[in-house]
Amino acid sequence: MKMKALVLSPESRLNEVCSEKCRALLNEHFDTSWNDTGRDYTKEELAAMVSEAEVILTSWGSPSITEEALENAVKLRAVGHAAGTVKKLVPKPIFSKGIRVYSAAPRIALSVGEYCLGALLSMLRYLPTLNTSLHDGQWRELGLKGRELTGSTVGIVSASSTARAFIKLLAPFQVNVLLYDPFLSEEAAAQLNVKRATLEEVMSCPIISVHVPNLPATERMISRELIERIPDGAIFINSSRAQCLDKEAFMEALESGRFFAALDVFEQEPLPVDHPVRKLPNVLITPHVAGASVQGHLALMQAVVEDIIRGLHDEKTSFEVSEKMWEIMA
């Protein structure tokens, strides 16, 4: 008999994160209950269904699995979240009940990695600036000469999954990667083919990419003193969270125009219409989309479903979240 799987996302939202192939996979391996109500389940509906579910699948906007709901989830063996953080989705006691938790965060990281490399190469070659200038009727009036990535030094703050995805894409460029992460061992650094470095060293690199989780411990960790270390002409990329920066010092530095930045995240989102960063020609700004891509989103449910199946067969998993990871998760 197949295990019972409960998909919480209504069709409208499921379509974005679950491919046809993934639906077939779910129906093949599980007795799957799809949400065809056209809306999210109510608390009461969820409580009733949770007691029968052996696997629960969620995505953005899915209702949280509360501690009360967990009391009734007597058959539950796995929760798979076809999105990023599971911090608000599942409560900590889930881990002591032996229920395994999976998150597609590392799959989202792949899109973030591609954004980072795209933003970096784009800025090194002044593509947005040249494109605007050519559309405005100019040719080489700006006198800009691009820069190569190959052989450069890249400083990375935090060895998160997005940082790892970015580092993988840097492989053919033979760059020298300096990585700051207080939890990174010498062995893990060697495996990633990076050098461990202090935050001061990383912030002194000609290319800097920030990948820190949004936690109390990382708030304003990039201080004024560290921002002052960013070399003239450097490229600074932030695809994680804006809260890690001393915002006043950072805006002052950006406004001086002495380095370039690609910013996908902001203290306040949507970015206020009159925010001064919108006026700066040395900043590439995007609306918090580094992790968003058609293919990336469509692959999210499959990533966790495949991993849950591996877990149920006692095979090695890649998307599982441990209690320890949950604790330091943003």
Residue 240: both structure tokens together: 């994680």
Chain residues 252-291 in contact with a copy of itself, contact rule CB under 8 A: 269-271, 273-274, 278-279, 284-287, 289
Closest CA to 56 of 313, 323, 304: 304
Minimum CB distance to a copy of itself, residue 173 (Å): 7
Nearer Cβ to a copy of itself (93/287) = 287
Minimum CB distance to a copy of itself, residue 293 (Å): 5
Residue 230 backbone phi and psi in degrees, to 5: -55, 120
Contacts with 28 (C-beta within 8 Å, 6 or more apart), sequence order: none
When asked if residue 294 is in the footprint of a copy of itself (CB under 8 A), the reply is yes
Residue 130: both structure tokens together: 């040249």
On the 0-12 / 13-18 / 19+ scale of CB atoms within 10 A, 40 is middle
Closest CA to 298 of 121, 82, 90: 82
Per-residue string for binding with a copy of itself, 46-85, x by CB under 8 A? ----------------------------------------
Q: Is 319 helix (H, G, I), strand (E, B) or coil?
A: coil
Q: Is 122 helix (H, G, I), strand (E, B) or coil?
A: helix
Minimum CB distance to a copy of itself, residue 24 (Å): 19
Chain residues 112-141 in contact with a copy of itself, contact rule CB under 8 A: 114-115, 117-119, 121-122, 124-125, 127-128, 130-132, 134-140
When asked if residue 324 is in the footprint of a copy of itself (CB under 8 A), the reply is no
Amino acid at 214: N
Nearer Cβ to a copy of itself (146/257) = 146
Nearer Cβ to a copy of itself (4/125) = 125
When asked if residue 325 is in the footprint of a copy of itself (CB under 8 A), the reply is no
Per-residue string for binding with a copy of itself, 149-178, x by CB under 8 A? xxx----------------xx-xxx-----
- Give the span between the Cα atoms of 167 and 204, in whole angstroms: 18
- Give the span between the Cα atoms of 130 and 141, in whole angstroms: 10
- Give the span between the Cα atoms of 139 and 143, in whole angstroms: 9
When asked if residue 3 is in the footprint of a copy of itself (CB under 8 A), the reply is no
Interacting residues toward a copy of itself by CB under 8 A: 110-111, 114-115, 117-119, 121-122, 124-125, 127-128, 130-132, 134-140, 145-151, 168-169, 171-173, 269-271, 273-274, 278-279, 284-287, 289, 292-297
